[in-house]
Amino acid sequence: MSTLANFTKTLIISFVLTLVYLFLPSDLVVLGQILKYSILISIIIALMSYKSVIQSVESGISNINSPKRKKDGKYEFEVVLDEKKTTKDLFQRLIILTIKVASSINKHSHSAIYTIDPKINSFVLQGGKKDEFKESISIENGELLNFVLKSRKIHQKDNKDLWNSLFSENSWKGSESAIINPVKIHGKDLGFILCRIDHFKNISDKDLSSFKNLSEFFSYNLQNLDDLDYHINQEASKDLILDIISGLNSKTDEQNIFDQFRYFFRTTFNYDRLTISIRKETNNRRKIDKAINSIVKLTDGIKDELDQETEFPTNGTLHGLPIISGKSISSSNWQESFPNIVRYSSKQKSNAVYKTILGSPILVGNQAKGSIVLERLDEVMYAKKEVKNLEKVGRILGSSLEWVNEYNKIYENATHDGLSGLLNHQTFKERFNDEIKRAERFQHKMSIMIFDLDKFKNINDTLGHQYGDYIIQTCSKIMKDNVRAVDVVARYGGEEFAIILINTSVIMSNIVAQRIVDTIANYPFKMDNIKAKMTISGGMSEYPSDSKDMKELIEIADQAMYSSKQEGGNKFSIHSNIEKSG
Give percent above pLDDT 90 in the chain.
41
User: Model confidence over 468-479: pLDDT tens digits?
Assistant: 999 999 999 999
What is the pLDDT, as a whole number, of residue 190?
A: 83
Segment 215-243 shows an average pLDDT of 62
- The string of DSSP letters for 484-542 reads -TTSEEEE-SSSEEEEEEET--HHHHHHHHHHHHHHHHH--EEETTEEE---EEEEEEE
Mean pLDDT of the chain: 80
pLDDT band at 437 (very low <50, low <70, confident <90, very high): very high
Segment 132-146 shows an average pLDDT of 79
- 467: phi then psi, degrees, rounded to nearest 5: -65, -40
Does the N-terminal peptide bond of residue 182 adopt cis geometry, omega within 30 degrees of 0? no
What is the pLDDT, as a whole number, of residue 352?
A: 54
Taking CB atoms within 8 Å and a gap of at least 24, the contacts of 551-554 are: 553/448, 554/448, 554/450, 554/498
Segment 420-440 shows an average pLDDT of 93
What is the pLDDT, as a whole number, of residue 542?
A: 95
pLDDT band at 93 (very low <50, low <70, confident <90, very high): confident
Helix axes 254-268, 384-415, angle to 10 degrees: 160
Q: Is 126 helix (H, G, I), strand (E, B) or coil?
A: strand
pLDDT band at 53 (very low <50, low <70, confident <90, very high): very low
Segment 111-140 shows an average pLDDT of 85
Residue ranges of alpha helices (H) inside 247-320 are: 254-268
- Which range, 174-183, 243-252, 525-534, is most confident? 525-534
At a CB cut-off of 8 Å and minimum separation 6, what does 200 contact? Answer: 155, 175, 176, 177
Of 115, 149, 150, 159, the C-alpha closest to 135 is 115
Check: CB of residue 575 under 8 Å from CB of residue 557: yes
**What is the dihedral sign for C-alpha 256, 262, 263, 269?**
positive
What is the pLDDT, as a whole number, of residue 226?
A: 63
Question: Is the pTM of the predicted complex or chain greater than 0.75?
Answer: no
pLDDT band at 519 (very low <50, low <70, confident <90, very high): very high
d(Cα 527, Cα 548) in Å, to the nearest integer?
Answer: 43
What is the pLDDT, as a whole number, of residue 250?
A: 55
Q: Does the structure show a pLDDT above 60 at 229?
A: no
Please count the CA atoms within 13 angstroms of the CA of 566 that sit on its side-chain side. Answer: 9
Bridge partners for 13 per DSSP: none
Q: Does the structure show a pLDDT above 60 at 439?
A: yes
At a CB cut-off of 8 Å and minimum separation 6, what does 102 contact? Answer: 109, 111, 193, 195, 211, 214
